[in-house]
Amino acid sequence: MSPRSEVLRRSMSVGLVVFSLLLIAGCRSKPTGSFSPVIYRALDYEPAWSHDGNHIAFARTESTSIGPAGIYLMEYPGGTPRLLVPFWTPGLNRLAFAPDDRSLITGCFGVGIRLTIEDGKDEWLCETILRRCRPQLSRSGRRLAFVKQFGMGASAIALSDVPDRGGSVLYSGGAPARGTHPSWGPGDSVLAVGQNDGLALLRIDKGPRRLLTTSAPGEFHTAPRWLSDSTLVFDVVRLDRSLPPESFVLNLATGERTRIPGDLGGSEALSPRGDSILYAAPDGKTGGTARTVLFVRALTADPKTARQVTFQ
C-alpha cells in the first residue's frame, strides 16, 4: 500500500468516528436558537520555503480556480501555483522542503511521507498511531525525527535512519503535548523540542537535556525553529484561548528573548536568511467569503506591512 493510500484509509476511519460522535452529540443536545457565524475558513496552510529561497509550497484545502485540493508549488517571488499532488489535506501537518530542495517532507494521519518534486512520487518515512507525527529530516538528510505514540497518552520523540520506518525512542514520557515539533539543530547532533515544562535541547546520544525556557502555569512553549546555530524562534500558546499566542526570538547564549509582532500561526516557513517569514492569515474579505491565504513579511516588522502571496 502506498503512503497516500494509507493516509486515505486512516482519514476515512477518523472521519467515521468524528461523524458518529457528532451524531450522538446532536441527538443528546437541544437547539439553543443562537448561531455563531464562521468568520473565515482555512484555505491555504502549512507553508514551506525552499532552502535556496526560490520556491514555496503549501497545502490548499478546497478546489479553486487553480485546481483541486492538494499540495502546491510555486516559484518565489511572482510565480503561479502548480499542483504537485491532489491530497486530502485537513490531516496534513508540517510541510517542509528536504535539505536538498528536491522533495517535500510532511506528516498526515500518523504517516510520514516524502514527495518528490519532479514527479510527485511518494515514499514512506515513518508511521505512528499519533495523528500529528511532525517529521523533520536532519540537515544532512540522513536521519528523521518525529513524534511517536505508543498508547493512551504516552508519546515520545523518535529517531530513524532514512529510509527505516520504525524509529528508536530518544525521549519518552508525558502527554502528546510533550515533545512537539522536533527541530534539528547543527551537526545532526541536537534537537530543539517543546515540552510540558518549557523549550529544551535533546542530544541524540541520549545525554542530559538542556532546558532553554521555563513555561508558566497554563502555557506551553512550542514550535522551535532555528534562525541560526545560536538563535531560535518559538511560540507561547496558552490554555486560556482568549489570550493570543506570542512568538519570540531566543538567543541561546544569553537566554534573551525578543518579541515578534503579530501571530505567526505556528509557521516554520522562514526565509533562508531568517529575516522574513511566510505564514497563513485571513485575507480580510467579509460576508462569509474570508479564507486564510499566505502572506510574507519581515520577521520583526509590523503585520500591517505583510504582502499577500496566494489568492482564492
Q: Which domains does the chain show, CATH number per domain?
A: 39-127+276-312 (2.40.128), 139-260 (2.120.10.30)
Q: If pLDDT is split at 50, 70 and 90, which confidence band does 22 have?
A: very low
Pair 190, 206: CB distance under 8 Å: no
Query: Over the chain, what is the mean pLDDT?
Result: 82
* Of 11-20, 113-122, 176-185, the least confident: 11-20
Strand order across the beta sheet in which 70-75 lies: 44-49, 55-60, 70-75, 82-86
Residue 12 above 80 pLDDT? Answer: no
Residue 32 above 50 pLDDT? Answer: no
What nine digits make up the cell of 65?
Answer: 480556480
Stretch 179-206: mean pLDDT? 87
Residues 6 or more apart from 46 whose CB is under 8 A from it? 58, 59, 92, 93, 94, 95, 106, 280
What nine digits make up the cell of 279?
Answer: 505564514
Which amino acid, one-letter code, is at 24?
Answer: I
Q: What is the pLDDT of residues 98-128, one digit of tens each?
A: 999 999 999 888 888 999 999 989 898 888 7
pLDDT score recorded for residue 109 = 82
pLDDT score recorded for residue 55 = 97
* Of 37-46, 79-88, 157-166, the least confident: 37-46
Pair 235, 245: CB distance under 8 Å: yes
Residue 258 above 70 pLDDT? Answer: yes
Rounded-to-integer distance, Cα 177 and Cα 211, Å: 16
Rounded-to-integer distance, Cα 255 and Cα 306, Å: 29
* Of 38-42, 186-190, 255-259, the least confident: 38-42
pLDDT score recorded for residue 1 = 62
Q: What is the pLDDT of residues 193-246, one digit of tens each?
A: 988 888 999 998 888 889 999 999 989 898 899 999 999 999 998 888 888 889
